[in-house]
Amino acid sequence: MASDPKNPRNASLKFDNQRGQILASDGTVLAQSVPATSGSYKYQRVYPQGSLYSQLVGYDSSIYGTNGIEDQYNDYLVAHTQPAQSLAQLLSPPPKTTDDVTLTINPTLQKTAQEALASASGVNKDGAIVALDPQTGAVLAMYSNPTYDPNPLASPSSTIQTEARLAYLAKDAEGFSPSLPIATAAIFPRARRSRSSPPPRSTTSNRSSRTSRHRCSPARAAPVQPEAL
């Protein structure tokens, strides 16, 4: 009975959209739940930084589901049973609670990346900037143009959500859609070498000497799901 979806208590949980916060490395709030003023849900998801972090954070939509960090860490952000820390908690589990998710993103670097793309010369502004910590591989900044504001996708209004989704799926003059971040989802053709330029030869004074080859492994970064809206 406790897990029966027909249980009125379980049915009401469907409309309790309280989720944990998503934070930048310095504690800047990137996503949070606030009491809803309309609609069926008790809480509404809001994104105080708008489009600056949207392609990382993603969105939580009552129609289109979750995307980005909202989706990847959904099991932690929603109310869930916490591991028991004592025998008393093991015998009598505490109420379900949400967890906050803190990213390695540096707000100063993220803003710098946004400004750098906006100030690019010419009319074409589409592109992406990613900054990694060379020692740990942590993602310090990841910004792409075009981008989008996730707040309409979390609106209590289904009309607003639908209109926003259609707008974010549309491609711009350069052929890119805000729904697919250039940094993680765009696919570009491989560069081709001109046939008139032969490949460079390595020279050595001793042809009999062996050359050891080492493959450099790329730094690992926190995965971001490149899903369309």
pLDDT in tens, 172-195: 999 999 999 999 887 777 766 656
pLDDT of residue 185: 82
Question: Which residue, among 28, 18, 22, has the nearest Cα to 56 in the 3D structure?
Answer: 22
Q: Which residue has the higher pLDDT, 123 or 188?
A: 123
3-class DSSP assignment, residue 15:
coil
Could you tell me the end-to-end alpha-carbon distance of the chain, in angstroms, rounded to an integer?
36
The answer to the question of residue 57 being in a domain is yes
Count up the domains in the chain and report the number: 1
Residue 98 belongs to what domain range?
8-169
- Per-residue pLDDT, averaged over 52-79, amounts to 94
pLDDT of residue 85: 79
The answer to the question of residue 29 being in a domain is yes
Q: Sorting pLDDT into bands at 50, 70 and 90, what band is 165?
A: very high
Domain of 145, CATH number, reads 3.90.1310.10
Residue 27 has pLDDT above 60, yes or no: yes
Please tell me the pTM assigned to this model. 0.74
Query: How many Å is the maximal CA-CA distance in the chain?
Result: 82
3-class DSSP assignment, residue 209:
coil
pLDDT of residue 190: 74
The answer to the question of residue 177 being in a domain is no
Question: Which residue, among 32, 68, 21, has the nearest Cα to 229 in the 3D structure?
Answer: 68
Residue 115 has pLDDT above 70, yes or no: yes
Tokens of 70: 């909202």
The answer to the question of residue 176 being in a domain is no
pLDDT of residue 13: 57
The answer to the question of residue 26 being in a domain is yes
Spatial contact of 101 and 76, defined as CB atoms under 8 Å apart: yes
The answer to the question of residue 112 being in a domain is yes
The answer to the question of residue 20 being in a domain is yes
Residue 196 has pLDDT above 60, yes or no: no
